[in-house]
Chains A and B, each alone.
Chain A
């Protein structure tokens, strides 16, 4: 086992709340996001999309569009002459530009590049597509029924047993013990079906890129994404290009939440540019974002939990069906791993079925699959508590996973922080605050894996002693601040002596996406190690100047010091002084670190919410909300709190009002912010973040990722609060007023 990275220490910078280095640009409108960049000679790209949920593309006539003045390129799938071998990349290509069939409403079928937006729009209208409409299916439970239209023939994995139709692409099961035996010991068993609607990440910045690709296969792409390395690598594979000949530069990113961890349109922009011989800007509109970039999977779960009168869970099973849209994904697997992860169960079995449908390819939305995993589990545990008259926090504590618990997905947990979040919740004044009429309080727990991944960081000590830090992960919510702070802490210099840049793909080695709650953990770790590397170099330079051994030098407060009297009497040599003589002592000074750190550790949270239900309309108002989560060590607490608050707000939207609404015709009925109802400022109360700091042994400062777990508990926490405020158990999300009122009337 790898040794612990963590060392307890006093911090000077870490844990403070300085102004973020990219802040001024972002409050003055100077920061450049995906759609904000232009290039000389630039054309405007636009994509024509299928109005059908499922259709064979009989023919596409682009001649009229091509003949229009100002139209410089018109492309269809036929222009993508390279067929990727890798299945995942082949799916990306097919999703970017439909081949023989359009698989969902909004699937791209052709694209144009023109000298103005209006000409591009007119050119799309001039493209004539002849479709043969095919039967479609958009609902996950309909898709698994016998006789459902099969979206893909021959894609079912070997792990799917007989008896499932071809839309069930994969099956994964987890667990241990013998649930049937366990259920025999239960005093009460609850068995139910739960469903969640597909929700979109709803980032406010539509996907955008500016691409330039020459006939020689050399190109540039400016792109808003959670991973410009990923965009470069996947685009190159899809187009049959050498990754090294393309340079991707990350723009500022206006939200992603997992939705920008995939390639949706960049190969189209590159191809248009190559055909036209000019740079092409391709900006999706909101309608396209909803129809053609990945929302979450919708889900349906059959759950059964048994409990004794005194609150011990004796057994649990759950089958999750998650629709992954038109292409295979692995969301049900994650739901099946995460749902019961907070609990220490002797007998548990889960299974996840990945189901394809005629919808856009599903993507991660913070912790992928985990909210759908937790919603049935946390709802049924709460209902058991209600029926057995048990305290929901105590019961969760009684069954909580802790060090030594065997997780539903297999391993034995090391030290984990779930109990700490539950204890913090119990001790918080929120738990005992009085409630009024029609008000209820709900709690729920959530779990998510965090991970590390490929990371490359360089830290340059400039000739004047200032520091430039290059990292390769788009800054989605304050990570430049966190990296700057870690570098300054390690080097012992003031924050304003370090500036952090997001490097392009030609300037650093591979960097995994900004996802998996990895950046503050993994990039932070690499930053600290790059700084330590630079310190080693600086010690050598000072040693050379002083004519002593580098081992006889210690680094503190931003300067080299002789280590004790034996090393000799020299005044401290600051980073500035060392930098000034760098040309004389061996040349430029830089530290770097490349690694795939794998000590991210798992993450737990407990959420508590008060709601009030209008008994006459079914409207649910969120009155108070508190998040308890372990951050390991909060580098910049404002942005840790922001992750807690933002995830909770998104979960509230998912619970109450957000959903993809499909018509009988398989078309999305609400592809806009008017009827896709994300929470607005007047919908929410303040969201209190309670940061716990239990150091993660896998990080030098104890950092644990915090970006994703906060979206896991809200769905059930709110359902549990609604149940206690209005005495109805909602099992289908969203809990929109018509559903709540109907449930209350049916009581």
Chain B
């Protein structure tokens, strides 16, 4: 299981600052979150970024995640 840290207001909505998901890559992580945590669905639909061990990923499903990885959900980033 991977511990996934939620950002402040998302944690408020989920009632927890962390949730656990069975995942070995980004794709599995996103699917697991969507399936198990309906409260996250609106944010997932709007798009999110994910920090894995301090690096920020937007899209790449194949990005590996180790069981002890630090995984933090982020709101989707845009630039200028």
- Interfacial residues, chain A to chain B (CB-CB below 8 A): 1-2, 157-159, 171-175, 257-258, 261, 330, 333-334, 337, 349-351, 363-368, 409-414, 449-454, 513, 515-518, 596, 598-602, 698, 708
Contact = CB atoms under 8 A, between A and B. Distances in A.
Interface string B45-80: 000000111111111100110100110111111111
A513 B66 CA distance: 31
A172 B7 contact: yes
Contacts of B10: 159
A337 B75 contact: yes
Contacts of B57: 598
Contacts of A174: 7-9
Number of chain B interface residues as a range: 20 to 34
A410 B9 contact: no
B12 A1 contact: no
A410 B72 contact: yes
B77 A414 contact: no
30 contacts: A1-B52, A1-B69, A2-B64, A157-B42, A171-B9, A172-B8, A173-B7, A174-B8, A174-B9, A257-B80, A258-B80, A337-B75, A351-B9, A366-B80, A367-B80, A368-B78, A409-B72, A410-B51, A411-B56, A411-B74, A413-B54, A414-B54, A449-B79, A453-B58, A515-B78, A515-B79, A516-B79, A596-B58, A596-B59, A598-B59
A2 B55 contact: yes
Given A172-B7, A173-B12, A449-B56, 20 more contacts: A1-B53, A158-B42, A159-B13, A173-B7, A261-B79, A334-B78, A351-B9, A368-B80, A410-B51, A411-B54, A412-B70, A413-B54, A449-B77, A451-B79, A598-B58, A598-B59, A599-B55, A601-B55, A698-B55, A708-B80
Specify the main secondary structure of chain B where it touches its partner: mixed
Interface string B1-43: 0000101111011000000000000000000000000000011
A598 B56 CA distance: 7
Contacts of A363: 80
Contacts of B53: 1, 412, 414
A404 to B, nearest CB: 9
List the 5 shortest-distance A-B pairs measured between CB atoms, nearest first: A258-B80, A516-B79, A364-B80, A173-B8, A411-B51
Contact of A330 (B7, B56, B78): B78
Contacts, number: 119
A175 B9 CA distance: 9
Contacts of A333: 75
A598 B55 contact: yes
Contact of B8 (A2, A158, A175, A515): A175
B38 to A, nearest CB: 11
A1 B57 CA distance: 11
A335 B29 CA distance: 27
A516 B52 contact: no
B78 A516 contact: yes
Contacts of A411: 51, 54, 56, 70, 72, 74
